[in-house]
Amino acid sequence: MSRPALAILVAWATLSVVLALTTINPTANWGLFDGGVDLDVYRKGAWHVLSGLPLYETPVDQKLFYTYTPFSAVVFVPLDMLPIVADRHYWMAVNLVVLTAVVVQSWRLLGYRPDRRVAGVSVLIALGCVFLEPVRTSLFFGQINLVLMLLVLSDAVGIRRSRLAGIGTGIAAGIKLTPAYFVLYFLALRQWRTAAVAVASLASTVGLGWLLLPDDSRRYWTGTFVDSERVGERLGHPSNQSLRGAMARLIGGEPPVWLWLMIAAAVAAVSLWVAVRLYRSGERLLSVTLVGLSAAVVSPFSWTHHFVWVVPLFVWLVDRALRSWRWWLVPAALFVTLGAWPHWYPRLKDPRVGFYLFPNDHPLEDVQVNMYLCLYAALLIAAGVLAVRSRR
């Protein structure tokens, strides 16, 4: 790597960390280390399991319901053993290590071998992504999205040479259902073994949940898992950046289920077609990244922190930029667009983080409030063009 490129990465990492720590005053209870709401939900779910209390009948933490699988509550039991208050700092450290591992796995999908240079560059890029709104929000709330992404990426790395590929995806889907979308990806690639291993792993997590928590499993799998109202926000809230959420905002109410399913199926089909062609042309990282973002788009409810799949996208863009200096403009523009910029509304004591929550009384308000969907559409089109050109 050239010295100018290394200088850019160091400057980017430094700027990102400084912005992540200083753009929101820690005294506003929205500083990077002041969160942990979702981590508390994980711990309370584990506590319900250990105490023999039902998981899904009542809120587990203040007004928040437990929305994950019964198996996940079993997985989260070790979190309940961490000391209160300090637990969020431990979990933050784990997530930062996982974020770096995500970048390393992304480089491996690009064909690089892990060594000291790749590790050092990965640390810089991981720090450079800390200020991205999906990443900062995941870190702030103590989310598990980065761990799930690492499990799926590890399967994508081993898909060609490991008989165990698929286990990570199955476990990730066993904790949070969205990664099950990658089974369709494996099937589209005709990776039958990987798809079968993923399905078997998911089935094992469901079986273990039934064995240890039969009542909770019965309640969850007979209806609770499709109840999107348990997430704590209305369907059309700007924080729901899924296709269904965008439709709700555009029509001013809940869209017909048949219409949403029809459009979501079309998006899934097109994105999988593009992803398969990208994979066959050698663009494995961009292929799996597109699928990860597509899973968030077609999901019934997707918070912005579900879009952490922008991290592998940044790795792909940096790889391009290392070959052509003009490409540096793309990650720079995307960094500004996806930055965790705060805005304080006069009547609210807490800031709203991210451009999609800024005041939007202007002609492009529909683009702004559906920012992640618009960026996804742009990526899908660009990836489609690249796939067609690569095939030719």
The per-residue pLDDT for range 298-322, each reduced to its tens digit, is 998 999 999 999 999 999 999 999 9
Q: Given phi > 0 = left and psi -120 to 50 = alpha, else beta, which region is 252?
A: left
Does some domain include residue 378? no
Domain extent for 79: 3-234+311-363
User: Cα 38–249–246 angle (5° rounding)?
Assistant: 65
Q: State residue 65's pLDDT score.
A: 87
User: Looking at the 3D structure of the chain, how many domains does it have?
Assistant: 1
CA–CA dist 8, 219 (Å, integer): 52
Within-domain flag for 350: yes
Best CA proximity match to 276, nearest among 292, 287, 289? 287
pLDDT in tens, 49-90: 998 899 888 888 778 888 899 999 999 999 888 888 788 899
Per residue in 212-241, pLDDT (tens digit) is 999 999 999 987 766 666 665 678 889 999
On whether residue 169 sits in a domain, the answer given is yes
CB atoms within 10 A of CB 229: 10
Per-residue pLDDT for 392 more than 60?
no
In angstroms, rounded to a whole number, what is the distance separating the alpha carbons of residues 131 and 146? 15
Q: Do residues 124 and 12 touch, judged by C-beta distance below 8 A?
A: yes
The verdict on residue 74 lying in a domain is yes
In a domain, 384, yes or no: no
Q: How far apart are CA 63 and CA 275, in angstroms?
A: 39
Per-residue pLDDT at 345 exceeds 90: no
Q: Is residue 369 part of a domain?
A: no
Q: What is the pTM of this model?
A: 0.94
In a domain, 182, yes or no: yes
Residue 390 reports pLDDT greater than 80: no
pLDDT at 293: 98
CA 320-325-326 angle, to 5 degrees, is: 90
d(CA 366, CA 356) in angstroms, rounded, equals 10
Question: pLDDT per residue over 256-310, tens digit each?
Answer: 999 999 999 999 999 999 999 999 999 999 999 999 999 999 998 999 999 999 9
Q: Give domain status of residue 295, yes or no.
A: no
Count of helix runs (H) and strand runs (E) in the chain? 18, 2
